[in-house]
Structure 1
Amino acid sequence: MPEDAAPTAALDEAALRIDLAAAFRLACRMGWHESVGNHFSAAVSEDGKRFLLNPKWRHFSAIRASDLLLLDADDPEVMARPDAPDASAWCIHGTVHAMLPEARVLLHCHPVHATALCTLKEPRILPIDQNTARFFGRVAIDTGFGGMADEAEEGRRIAETLRGKSVLLMGNHGVSVAAPSVAAAFEDLYFLEKAAQTLMLAYASGRALNVMPDALAAKTAQDWRDYAGMAEAHFAHWKAVLDREEPDYRD
């Protein structure tokens, strides 16, 4: 290992902790949180098996960078320790990071409109505007809800369903978003909730939806990818707000 590898890794982890802590605070501001549940994680190791995760039952509004647990998906003793994470968090995030190393960041929560969409018999994101079309071809749907996600088989099914996609609509449950960075995951979660809100409002009208043809939806989704830098700019703006109003998130 090069001499500077360890210091670089430490700096990378420190920066990742700050970004993930910011995501928790911002999710709370956006109203995506739910009591002291739901979980965000970020892989530290190349294979994804070492990852950061919020501690059990800590409110999103109080999470600091130093609070985040550093866990190993191959460690059989994790759940036996006094500081063990929430069982459903370990089930979902531990399994996804172990099976899908490309899922560097995984945000799982129950935003109001996206969760309402997940209660429908067919919880698809129909491309009816540019925000809904953003997700064309990128969404997996899991209809195998079996109660609280705290069993190994549940975690494996969720990971396999998410494979090759970046958004998972979890029937009767909530949503998970996977991305290469915290900024990208936060941006997708932001637009996912907006897309779900638009779609649910359109459904509520009782009128026929003007669904885009697949070719137009695919073009719009590609157009969004060409605007990828928006995620970093948006996240940087909100981190600057936190730096002024809640600077302890960096601690």
Structure 2
Amino acid sequence: MNTFLEERKDLAAAYQWCERCGFHEGIDNHLSVMVSTSPPRFLINPRGRHWSRMTPDALLVIDEQGNTVDGNGEALRTGPTIHVAIHQNHPSANVVLHTHMPYATALTAIKGGELRQVHQNSARFLDQCAYDRTFNGLAFDMNEGKRLAEAMGEKRVLFMAHHGVVVVGSNVAEAMDDLYYLERACETQWLAASMQNEEVHEIPPEVARQTADQFRNRSASAKLHLEEIKRVLHLD
């Protein structure tokens, strides 16, 4: 538990806050932090533990094959499969968050579904979303993780067909901030689209671009967001 203490606190806060926001699904899905590259080591949740009960000391340290190096229990089988390849292939993926949060996941069930520029929260993801249109069943094979990493490229967000989303970041604060606002953007899009006899009004491209540029310096705000989450959860 003494190893990677700050990373453990941040990641545990992300798990608990995702549960409060309804981003979790049963005891499944996974959020991870790469804590070492040589040898490769990752913090991730143990199989069977509910996100509302995720504490810093409950998190596992695993290797690139998914074997537990430190901690009690084992990782979900799909955790290392999806996360390791993205961690190792994406230049900014120190943190990988994978959820089935409802509004973002609903977009993956729509043929050709994409995040549209309907709100300022949408603009922060302009040109930062990749879309994997192939669903191969549960991600039990490491080759599937490699395929997903290739589909994601260097984008911050991957929409996975009939599955969910992946959000990456250089630290937990930035990744969690993006995950939260991605779901809010998708929710707004769905609510707008559900209004009968009303046409969804998209932001003009030049304004969307300007707004995206304004969101680039979001690190300080993301840090404050996570710090406040940790205070609410008494993990500060």
Match of 1:138 in 2: 128
Q: CA deviation at 1:76?
A: 7.7
* SS of corresponding position for 2:233: helix
Match of 1:7 in 2: none
More helix by share: 1
1:84 equivalent among 52, 62, 74: 74
Q: CA deviation at 1:98?
A: 2.6
For residue 216 of structure 1, what is the amino acid of its counterpart? V
**Are residues 1:178 and 2:165 paired?**
no
Flag the 1:242–1:220 CA change in 2: closer, same or farther, 3 A. same
C-alpha separation between the residues in 2 aligned to 1:69 and 1:76?
Answer: 10
* SS of corresponding position for 2:31: strand
> Is the CA contact (8 Å cut-off) linking 2:29 and 2:100 kept in structure 1?
yes
C-alpha separation between the residues in 2 aligned to 1:32 and 1:77?
Answer: 26
Match of 2:109 in 1: 119
Q: Which runs of 4+ in 1 moved over 4 A?
A: 75-78
> Is the CA contact (8 Å cut-off) linking 2:66 and 2:75 kept in structure 1?
no
Which residues of 2 match residues 1-251 of structure 1 at below 5 A? 13-46=4-37, 49-73=40-64, 75=65, 83-100=73-90, 102-206=92-196, 207-243=198-234
> Is the CA contact (8 Å cut-off) linking 2:91 and 2:154 kept in structure 1?
no
The 10-residue stretch of structure 1 (116-125 or 170-179) with the greater mean CA deviation from structure 2: 116-125
Calculate the aligned-residue CA RMSD, in Å: 2.1
C-alpha separation between the residues in 1 aligned to 2:142 and 2:208?
Answer: 36
C-alpha separation between the residues in 2 aligned to 1:37 and 1:48?
Answer: 27
- The Cα offsets for residues 201-234 of structure 1, whole Å up to 9 and x where unpaired, read as 1111243222223322121111111343111111
| Number of residue pairs aligned between Structure 1 and Structure 2 | 232
* SS of corresponding position for 2:36: coil
* SS of corresponding position for 1:222: helix
Bigger radius of gyration: 1
- The Cα offsets for residues 86-133 of structure 1, whole Å up to 9 and x where unpaired, read as 111121012222323530000101111111112111221111110111
Flag the 1:47–1:127 CA change in 2: closer, same or farther, 3 A. farther
> Is the CA contact (8 Å cut-off) linking 1:114 and 1:192 kept in structure 2?
yes
Flag the 1:15–1:218 CA change in 2: closer, same or farther, 3 A. same
Unpaired runs of 5+ residues, structure 1, are 1-9
TM-score (normalised: structure 2): 0.91
For residue 220 of structure 1, what is the amino acid of its counterpart? T
* SS of corresponding position for 2:84: helix
C-alpha separation between the residues in 2 aligned to 1:85 and 1:233?
Answer: 30
C-alpha separation between the residues in 2 aligned to 1:48 and 1:100?
Answer: 17
Flag the 1:210–1:236 CA change in 2: closer, same or farther, 3 A. same
> Is the CA contact (8 Å cut-off) linking 2:167 and 2:175 kept in structure 1?
yes
> Is the CA contact (8 Å cut-off) linking 2:121 and 2:181 kept in structure 1?
yes
C-alpha separation between the residues in 2 aligned to 1:76 and 1:28?
Answer: 24
